[in-house]
Amino acid sequence: MTRPGEAKLNHLFQPGRIGKFEVKNRIKYGACCVSNYNGRDGTITPRELARVRVIAGTGCGLITNQGAYPDALGEGKSYFRQIAIHDDKFLPQFEMIARYIHDAGAMAMQQILHAGRYGGIDLGYCVQPSVVPQTLPHFRPPRELTKDQIKVVIAQHADAAKRAIRAGFDATEVTSFMGYLLANFNSRFTNQRTDEYGGSVENRGRFMRELIDAIKQATPDNPLSIRLNGAELMDRWGGNTQEESFELMQQAADCGVDMISVTVGWQEAPESSFGRDVEPGYWNFLSAKAKKMFPDVLVAFGNRLPDPAMANECVRDEVFDYWEVCRPLLADPEMIHKAAEDRMEEVRPCIGSLNCLSRLFRDLPYTCTMNPMLGHEVEPEYHVTEATEKKRIMIIGAGPAGMEAAITARKRGHTVTVFDKADKIGGALGAYAANDLARPADLQSVIDYYGVMAKKLGVEVRLNTEANAKFMRSVLHEYDVCIVAAGARTDMAVFQYLEGAELLVDALDVAHGRVKTGKRVVMIGGGMIGLTISEFLAKAGHEVTVVEKEKRIGGDIMPTFKWRHTAWVDELGIQTITLAQLLKVTKEGATVKTAKGEEKFIPCDSVIVSSPRKANHDLFYEFQWMVDELHGGGDATVPRGLDQAIHEGYRLGVRI
């Protein structure tokens, strides 16, 4: 029976074929790089297997298992806990993964990932076509591959492909995504060889062509997918043009690959490819061009394309054949099923915060801002189960921490009431969203999701209600549990003895639109809040100077988005003074003390304070003798960010 969403998204849910294999829909689960859940020796752990069972159940017709490195030495290994496929001893676990995928009715594809320039994490060096110095200091010094070594690497890929097919996978994939070995040979930036493997586009593509040929000979009855850059975004370093990228795709198509997965960007690229600052659908023109150029080759694409409705239109319009989706399914593994059932308003959204990549780039297991359960599927205590004892829970604060705790606790059978003194849910997140230059709709979608789920689950939300000690006494013994998720405030008391303290403006008042600033602004604090508001004001035509006491701005911003704020500061002409502190304020301006001990006067009309932040701890002391259980989460415990708020709210909701 066709589900209502399948009828609406009929192009996306129509069956397809890859080689001799039938595929139940046009959705390909992307390999999502690696999880870092596994053993240091490349073995697959129970944590990974539990995660794969979730992936298998996403509803995708084609599922690509994460990239495995193909060499015993580990030159291709980029992450400490990346899985390996260079030996038969790993086969039983791969067999289990293939079985999970098949049992869910999907086609199984295994990705082979040799990291090249980004590899050798345990060796202290990396291999690539030429000795091109690293632009990012945390990667290893390069060594040039000899022609004999190139042949060995190609043979290792072919052996890995055979091993994957023997394990029960239906197809294999090799990847250049993010700037791995295949991309290193293809790119002018990292391939400066003068032999037959370097120079012209044709010569630079020789490694790829030989790689394709070796895998096809090793697995002649099984499809091969290849992930290739439609745009490297490496112009600063002399990388390939888009025209050269498509010439390389043409070579792959001529070699008989069954699918081209079009990707965007390298790890070293100085611009964003799929963060929140990229509009959904921005890169679709690359897959449309590939589909037009290679009508006989299947094209998969999903870069910054989180919406099934848009994906459906793309399949309809022959922009691509398969929607390749990964990160939206990290945020909500049930998204495909919800789309099929026409319940998209219930989807936990991927907001493009790239917490997943920030973790990987620190060699940590990946997690998701929006999905607290990601990576914890093997742990029973993270699963939503019926509560042994149903309790009456009050939650103070309708921000992300409070709302996450509320909907999670309600799913378990508790009775939940949320109190907030504001007239709408979302807490400070809504105010920050209104000042966000990246994509306010992404942040607002978090609030919208909580509103939908609270209504569906029957969470009572009482707005315009301040839950202080007096209020608590009026409802004494009506609740068994209190969760304080009242957020944090700007600690204005730090400046109370400063000359001109009465002239200071709270950043939260500016963010909420309660206070208008003058034309010339000084922002005290160069963290996430200070920069977000400063960027918004500068974009609106204000002259902004940021004063930060630390050595660098953006100290609390996650690594994969810090560069974006730095770029905005430069683009918008925001002045920054670091290692400085505010001394006094007058109607004419602010005086700060610099790192050299000098006093510097900054003419301005408004001085805004965004730092330091202070947790709203007061209720903990007031409520401790008024309720059986008292808990806290999010910024009300320690001021941090969105991911910590959501994760802590979930952990409270799932365990009380």
Which CATH number is 150's domain given?
3.20.20.70
Same domain as 35, residue 126: yes
Residue burial 356-385, b: 16+ Cβ < 10 Å; e: rest = bbbbbbeeebbbbbbbbbbbbbbeeebeee
Least confident window among 1-10, 60-69, 317-326, 396-405: 1-10
Whether residue 562 is predicted with pLDDT greater than 90 in this model: the reply is no
pLDDT at 112: 98
What's the mean pLDDT in 608-625?
93
Alpha-carbon gap, residue 533 to 336, rounded angstroms: 36
Residue burial 155-173, b: 16+ Cβ < 10 Å; e: rest = ebbbbbbbbbbebbbbbbb
pLDDT bracket for residue 387 (50, 70, 90): very high
Q: Would residue 376 count as lying in a domain? A: no
- Concatenating the DSSP letter of every residue in 442-507 gives HHHHHHHHHHHHHHHHT-EEE-S----HHHHHHTTTS-SEEEE---EEE-GGGGTTSBTGGGEEEH
pLDDT bracket for residue 399 (50, 70, 90): very high
pLDDT bracket for residue 177 (50, 70, 90): confident
- Domain boundary among the residues 598, 613, 628 is at 613
Whether residue 241 is predicted with pLDDT greater than 90 in this model: the reply is yes
- Domain boundary among the residues 308, 342, 360 is at 360
Query: Which H or E element spans position 584?
Result: strand 581-586
What's the mean pLDDT in 328-351?
96
pLDDT at 242: 97
Q: Would residue 266 count as lying in a domain? A: yes
Pairing of strands 589-593, 581-586: antiparallel
Residue 632 exposed, middle or buried by CB count within 10 Å (0-12, 13-18, 19+):
buried
What's the mean pLDDT in 237-257?
97
C-beta separation of 356 from 327 below 8 A: yes
Same domain as 14, residue 73: yes
Residue burial 80-113, b: 16+ Cβ < 10 Å; e: rest = ebbbbbbeeebbebbebbbebbbebebbbbbbbb
Whether residue 361 is predicted with pLDDT greater than 90 in this model: the reply is no
Same domain as 478, residue 545: no
Same domain as 283, residue 177: yes
pLDDT at 354: 81
Same domain as 108, residue 209: yes
Q: Would residue 381 count as lying in a domain? A: no
Same domain as 469, residue 409: yes
What is the reported pTM? 0.95
Domains: count for the chain = 3
Share of the chain above pLDDT 70, in %: 100
Same domain as 317, residue 194: yes
Q: Would residue 263 count as lying in a domain? A: yes
Same domain as 220, residue 134: yes
pLDDT bracket for residue 362 (50, 70, 90): confident
279-283: long-range contacts, CB 8 A cutoff, minimum separation 24: 279/304, 279/439, 280/304, 280/305, 280/306, 280/307, 280/310, 281/305, 281/307, 281/310, 283/230, 283/231
The 10s digit of each residue's pLDDT in 571-591 is 999 999 999 999 999 999 999
Its domain, for residue 600, covers 492-613
**Residue 383, strand partner residues:** none
Q: Which two tokens stand for residue 54?
A: 């979730």
Same domain as 441, residue 504: no
pLDDT at 617: 87
Give the angle 476-479-485 at the CA atoms, nearest 5°: 105
Same domain as 140, residue 79: yes
pLDDT at 456: 98
Q: Which two tokens stand for residue 461?
A: 């939300």
Q: Would residue 49 count as lying in a domain? A: yes
Same domain as 274, residue 203: yes
pLDDT: which is higher, 615 or 2:
615
Q: Would residue 171 count as lying in a domain? A: yes
Q: Which amino acid belongs to residue 641?
A: G
Here the CATH number for the domain that contains residue 598 is 3.50.50.60
Mean of pLDDT over the chain: 96
Residue 604 phi, psi (nearest 5): -165, 165
pLDDT at 352: 84
Q: Would residue 275 count as lying in a domain? A: yes
Q: Which two tokens stand for residue 564?
A: 């974006």
The 10s digit of each residue's pLDDT in 77-111 is 999 999 999 999 999 999 999 999 999 999 999 99
The 10s digit of each residue's pLDDT in 269-321 is 988 888 888 999 999 999 999 999 999 999 999 999 999 999 999 999 999 99
Whether residue 476 is predicted with pLDDT greater than 90 in this model: the reply is no
Same domain as 314, residue 426: no
Q: Which two tokens stand for residue 610?
A: 């965004």
Q: Would residue 460 count as lying in a domain? A: yes
Whether residue 640 is predicted with pLDDT greater than 90 in this model: the reply is yes
